[in-house]
Structure 1
Amino acid sequence: MTAAGNQDVSAVEGAVRTNLVHLQGWRDVEVQREGFMWHGRLLRLLCGRRPASVAPPEGEASSDIEYILPVSLAQHSAEPVTIECLDRIFAELCGPDTSRILLAIVSDDGTIVFYFLHKGIHKPKKN
């Protein structure tokens, strides 16, 4: 990976971390050291503690660590998030009891959208 590519990864991780801490009220948000190369890009997770207003996955305590996968919308073609990629993320980068991660997609204008990605098939919530 080039130095510029590494800076792009750091910028995306930093934008997501800043958003989570200062706008979403998360605590203890850090970039994990471990990661792996996927289609020529370094993938690393952030981890942190979600605010009490966000419901934890079924069977998990509200203080558990949540994992966040930051990706850039501009990198979509070069860094596709596929089932194989997600399987590897859950197997290598998350804790053994992790049932979901938060996908953070950063657009060119700085907008960040978040989606929950569940490990395996997840039963929908009842309203």
Structure 2
Amino acid sequence: MDIHPSYSALASVVERYPAHGGALFQTYNDLKLAQQWRDVEVKDLGQVCKRGGIQGRRPKTAADADSLLHVVPCALAESISMVWLKDVFEALGNPSSIYLAVVSDDSSIVYYKLSSGIVKPSI
């Protein structure tokens, strides 16, 4: 991983939280290279969350291209609590929603949109 060109953007966070480096690496490269997000940045979510998150914008062709989106990578085998999710929202500045990127051992990623509080689903 450390010889990949994208590693320099991830290095400081991966070194602080090596257990979550793989999920961060896979998600970062998926968003930046495959999905072609713009303004992609890695954020340290602090010692409470013990990992890095990603923020960025979708390509210009997307309907919400100007919205700043937040993605938090995690492994499929991890246990996630409501308290931890609350801490993630707080670490990211309490956005209205985040995407949880669940990375499996075969490197596939599923993104789940999580909203803060109770939100009526769109019809």
Same fold (TM over 0.5): yes
Aligned residue-pair number: 110
TM normalised by structure 2 equals 0.76
Matched, 1:51 2:59: yes
Distance 1:118 1:49, change over 3 A: same
Higher relative contact order (CA 8 A, sep 6+): 1
Structure 1 unaligned spans of 5+: 57-61
Query: Corresponding residue for 1:20?
Result: 31
Structure with greater proportional helix content? 2
Q: Sequence identity of aligned pairs in percent?
A: 33
- Residues 42-121 of structure 1 mapped to structure 2, 5 A cutoff: 42-52=50-60, 56=64, 62-74=65-77, 76=78, 80-91=79-90, 93-96=91-94, 98-121=95-118
SS of residue matched to 1:104: strand
TM normalised by structure 1 equals 0.74
Contact 1:35–1:45 (8 Å) recurs in 2? no
Structure with greater proportional strand content? 1
State the Cα RMSD in Å. Answer: 2.4
Query: Corresponding residue for 1:32?
Result: 43
117, 124, 127: which is aligned to 2:121?
124
